[in-house]
Structures are given as structure tokens and as C-alpha cells.
Amino acid sequence: MNASRATARRIAASIVAIALVASTFFILPTSEAAAEGRLAGMPSTKTLASVSMAEDGSRLVLLKIALAPRVTIRAHSHSGPAVITVISGSLQIDLLRGAATANQDGAETSVEVGATTYLSDGDSIAFAPSAGETISNHGNEPLLLVASIVLEPKELIFDYDYWTPPSRPNLQ
């Protein structure tokens, strides 16, 4: 059963990559997101697609996320893998636990736990299952992201209670 679940997750990761590339052609520009008035300090999320992946009820979710300048999505994790691509703006990621790989200007690099990674237009980052991170817009313009996340049944998109991050005063 674990082998089939691992295979499903590998397939999902491939689907995520394809979906992210394809979705960049269908995302609203940042100015439209800002005009919608949804960038007033809280992340704005819109589900673009949600597909059941297995009999256990896990699902692959494709999201558009908008963050106002200087807004942070506090420490959280997801039970499955996740991929985030920057459509426009400046993204800061603090990896608190687990593994991640960043793709900046076509070059892949491993992200170390405790490291801060800065991404801009077209860059992406892939998180291993259960990785813990904070996501921040460190720029002065709205940040627009596309994220693909594999979620377990009934798991929230930003499940802050799924994992309690270690005390890290420098990351709060």
C-alpha cells in the first residue's frame, strides 16, 4: 500500500509541475489582483482546481495566492508535497523543517533548514511532504503566486495546527 501511495505522490509531483507551467498563462496580473481589493493584510487564495488522487481521499489542489506587501503567512506545513511559483513580486521563504528545492533562473539548489530563500518572477520552490515554512512578501508590490499542494482528506490549505514549529525568534 505504501508503494502505491509513493507512486501516487510521484505522479502528483509531475502533474504539479505541468500544471504550474500551464497555469502561468491563465493567472490574473498583479494589478488586477490588487484592484479586487483582496490584498489588505491577509492572504487571498482562490482554488483554480482540486482533483482527487486516490481512494484515501487525498487531493491535488492548484491555488492562486495573493499577498500584500510586507504580509507573512505564518509557520505552517502540509502533509503532502507542495510547489510554489512566483508569478510576480518578491517572495521570502524561511524553511523551518524538512526539505525543499528552489529553482531560480533555471538552476536548482537545495534549501537548508534555517535558511532564508528569496524568489522573484518565474522562480519556484518545491517542498517535501511535511516541510515547515513561512511565506512572506518582502517587497513593496503585491505578490502573486501559484501553488500546487497535495492534501490529505479534511486537511486545511494553511493548517497551522498540523505542525507546531520550533521556537525561532528570528523567524517570527
Q: Is residue 165 part of a domain?
A: no
- Separation CA 24–CA 44 (nearest Å): 17
Q: How far is the CA of 65 from the CAs of 34, 143, 146, 163, in angstroms? A: 12, 8, 6, 21
Q: What is the number of H-type helices and E-type strands within the chain?
A: 2, 11
Confidence (pLDDT) at 29: 40
Measured torsion, CA atoms of residues 148, 156, 43, 163, in degrees rounded to the nearest 10? -100
- Separation CA 154–CA 157 (nearest Å): 9
Q: Is residue 82 part of a domain?
A: yes
Q: Is residue 149 part of a domain?
A: yes
Q: Is residue 39 part of a domain?
A: yes
Q: Is residue 168 part of a domain?
A: no
- Please give the mean pLDDT across all residues of the chain: 76
Region 97-123: mean pLDDT is 95
Confidence (pLDDT) at 9: 54
Confidence (pLDDT) at 128: 94
Q: Residue 63 above 60 pLDDT?
A: yes
Domain count, the chain: 1
Buried b / exposed e along 40-51 (16+ C-beta atoms within 10 A): eeebbbeebeee
Q: Is residue 142 part of a domain?
A: yes
Query: Which value, in Å, is the radius of gyration of the alpha carbons in the chain?
Result: 15
Q: How far is the CA of 169 from the CAs of 29, 77, 108, 166, in angstroms? A: 35, 18, 29, 9
Report CA 84 to chain centroid distance, whole Å.
Answer: 4
- Separation CA 81–CA 87 (nearest Å): 20
Confidence (pLDDT) at 83: 96
Identify the helix (H) or strand (E) that includes residue 20: helix 2-23
Confidence (pLDDT) at 94: 95
Q: Is residue 162 part of a domain?
A: no
Confidence (pLDDT) at 47: 86
Q: What is the pLDDT of residues 130-142, one digit of tens each?
A: 898 999 998 899 9
Q: What is the pLDDT of residues 46-57, one digit of tens each?
A: 888 889 887 888
Judge contact between 146 and 23, C-beta under 8 A.
Answer: yes
Confidence (pLDDT) at 42: 61
Q: Is residue 169 part of a domain?
A: no
Region 92-100: mean pLDDT is 94
> CATH no. for residue 41?
2.60.120.10
Domain, as residue range, for 149 = 2-155
